[in-house]
Amino acid sequence: MTRISRKLRRWTSEVLDLPQDVLYDMPRLTLIGSKQLYIENHRGVIHFTPDRIVLALSQGQLEISGNALVIRNILPDEVAIEGTILDIHMNGVEGNG
């Protein structure tokens, strides 16, 4: 991302009071204990088993590992996962600083 683009996004965020996840098209993760995970701004399910779920992101992938994982709810840009969540790993995600 160019320096001008970063400055424009930062300025837009401050003036319009937009959250960073919306402005940069980043995923928003909400973990409740180790039993529920809500992910916003995903791009689809790549892989699903009871032990591992991989979601596509705008940049890279999100891998969730655990036991008895189920997709409780899925919408075009939001997914709810339940089970015993042991690990969350982001692959190929570039920093936006």
Q: Residues 5, 42, 68, 32: what is their CA dihedral angle, to the nearest 10 degrees? A: 60
Q: What is the DSSP letter of 85?
A: E
- pLDDT the model gives residue 96: 47
Coil, strand or helix at 87: strand
- pLDDT the model gives residue 58: 87
**Residue entry with tokens 């339940």:** 82
- pLDDT the model gives residue 77: 85
Distances 10 to 27, 80, 87 between C-alpha atoms, Å: 18, 30, 31
Q: What are the counts of helices (DSSP H) followed by strands (DSSP E) for the chain?
A: 2, 6
- Show the domains of the chain with their CATH numbers: 25-91 (2.60.40.2000)
Whether this prediction's pTM lies above 0.75 is answered by no
Mean pLDDT, the chain cut into blocks of 10 residues (97 residues total): 67 59 72 96 95 94 98 94 97 64
